[in-house]
């Protein structure tokens, strides 16, 4: 039996356990920066395997390094462990038992997959060349995220290459996709507080209407992308929250706006930041209001290494067939996996988890989000194949 067939067979045997782990995690989700029990569960499973686990890394992150008996490179593989503040609306036996919290992005499956990979490598240490560093990263969903603290605790020390996977319901089960260069966007966020002058709804001339000011500002901000950014440079400015007023006959004196900016190009990113600062000041001045702007630069773009992306295409086609491997479009969602790629060459990959027949077709962060669990096996096969290929052929 070839090494690849042996690996696939071993992972296939671990797949039912991956499903069990995933469903346990799905029932008991924890949001970013609160993953105490999730981290303890992961640590317990890893310790039962015989792993030497580092815990409490930048909050609730964990790290395991599995060393083979022969010399070779150190390859890092990463999973994220946090859930979202969303009420689970699925009617399944493994639905979330925590009110208002659910795994609506697949991180439970990422974690279960990585636990399966850990079990596989612990069984294969005698045949393993080099080291495999498995990262269970907390707090991906909320900036500043858990990647930087994990890196500060040595996650990338001595690493030669790093790979990560996101199970992706927009991509049908059985397909995998990535792209060379920029794959996912930078994500910045801002909060605008507008202070006007409240008053009687029938006497607007005695007020400074914060709703009118905020509405003018929302409209103005939309012109940044439509009229001030080169159409060939992808960018998004979205206002996600507009809060003001509380009844029909009182003019609001305060308004709160929250939004996000998504870009790929560093200059476009900075230009949009500058335009938002100027627009907030100028629009509020025009209407006689004052403002406070809190603008936070979030995750940078995910930029895949060229050589490691070529490795993904080659290994993916060998593993799954040429029809299963796609070139992804650029995606305006963001990922703090970007920080690992600032330190080491690597590749971030989408693994198809969508299947309408299983109700696994809702968007990520939707209250009925679910996935085709077989994608975990595809993910495990792909990540271990990439790691073993790097160990055999570090230069491609």
Question: Of 182, 178, 155, 158, which Cα lies nearest the Cα of 168?
Answer: 178
Through-space distance between the first and last CA atoms of the chain, rounded to whole angstroms: 26
308 is annotated as an active-site residue: no
The C-alpha R_g of the chain, in whole angstroms, comes to 23
Structural contact between residues 32 and 141, judged by C-beta atoms closer than 8 angstroms:
yes
Residue found by looking up tokens 């299963």 in the block: 324
Question: Of 380, 395, 385, which Cα lies nearest the Cα of 313?
Answer: 385
What secondary structure does DSSP assign to 299-331, as a single string? EPPEEE-HHHHHHHHHHHHHHH-GGGEEEPPPB
- Please name the residues in contact with 171: beta carbons below 8 A apart, sequence gap of 6 or more: 177, 326, 350, 351, 352, 353, 354
Q: Which of 8, 35, 80, 82 is catalytic?
A: 82
Using left for φ > 0, alpha for ψ between -120 and 50, and beta otherwise, residue 291 falls in: beta
Euclidean distance between CA atoms 74 and 26, whole angstroms: 31
**How many residues comprise the chain?**
396
What secondary structure does DSSP assign to 28-70, as a single string? S--BTT--HHHHHHHHHHHHHHT--EEEEETTTEEEEEEE-SE
Q: Which of 88, 108, 140, 188 is catalytic?
A: 140
| Exposure string over 30-40, b if 16+ CB within 10 A, otherwise e | bbbbbbeebbe
Question: Of 393, 392, 395, 390, which Cα lies nearest the Cα of 75?
Answer: 390
Euclidean distance between CA atoms 33 and 305, whole angstroms: 30
67 is annotated as an active-site residue: no
Q: How far is CA 202 from the centre of its chain?
A: 48
- Other CB atoms within a 10 A radius of the CB of residue 97 amount to 12
The three-state secondary structure class of 85 is coil
Active site residues: 82, 140
């Amino acid at each position: 039996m070839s090494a690849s067939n042996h690996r696939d067979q071993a992972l296939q045997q671990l797949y039912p356990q991956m499903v069990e782990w995933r469903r346990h995690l799905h029932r008991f989700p924890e949001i970013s920066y609160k993953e105490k029990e999730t981290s303890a569960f992961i640590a317990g499973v890893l310790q039962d395997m015989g792993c030497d686990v580092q815990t409490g890394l930048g909050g609730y992150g964990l790290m395991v390094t599995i060393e083979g008996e022969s010399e070779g490179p150190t390859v890092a593989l990463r999973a994220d462990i946090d859930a979202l503040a969303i009420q689970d609306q699925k009617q399944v036996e493994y639905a979330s038992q925590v009110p208002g919290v659910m795994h609506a992005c697949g991180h439970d499956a990422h974690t279960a997959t990585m636990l399966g990979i850990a079990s596989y490598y612990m069984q294969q240490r005698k045949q393993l060349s080099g080291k495999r560093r498995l990262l269970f990263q907390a707090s991906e969903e909320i900036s500043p995220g858990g990647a930087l603290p994990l890196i500060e605790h040595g996650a990338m020390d001595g690493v030669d290459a790093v790979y990560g996977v996101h199970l992706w319901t927009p991509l049908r089960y059985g397909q995998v996709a990535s792209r060379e260069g920029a794959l996912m966007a930078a994500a910045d966020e801002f909060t605008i507080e507008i202070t006007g002058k409240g008053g009687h709804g029938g006497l607007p001339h005695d007020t400074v209407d914060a709703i009118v000011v905020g509405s003018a500002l929302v409209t103005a901000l939309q012109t940044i992308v439509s009229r001030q950014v080169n159409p060939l440079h992808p960018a998004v400015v979205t206002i996600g929250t507009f809060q003001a007023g509380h009844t029909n006959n009182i003019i609001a004196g305060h308004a709160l706006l929250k939004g996000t900016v998504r870009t790929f190009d560093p200059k476009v990113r900075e230009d949009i930041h500058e335009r938002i600062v100027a627009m907030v000041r100028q629009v509020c001045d025009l209407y006689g209001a004052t403002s406070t702007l809190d603008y936070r630069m979030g995750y940078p773009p995910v930029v895949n290494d060229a050589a490691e992306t070529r490795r993904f295409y080659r290994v993916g086609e060998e593993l799954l067939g040429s029809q299963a491997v796609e070139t992804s479009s650029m995606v305006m969602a963001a990922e703090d996996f970007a920080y690992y790629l600032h330190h080491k060459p690597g590749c971030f990959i989408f693994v198809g988890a969508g299947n309408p027949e299983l109700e696994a077709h809702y968007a990520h962060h939707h209250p009925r989000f679910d996935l085709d669990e077989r994608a975990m096996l595809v993910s495990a096969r792909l990540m271990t194949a990439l790691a073993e290929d790097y160990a055999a052929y570090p230069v491609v």
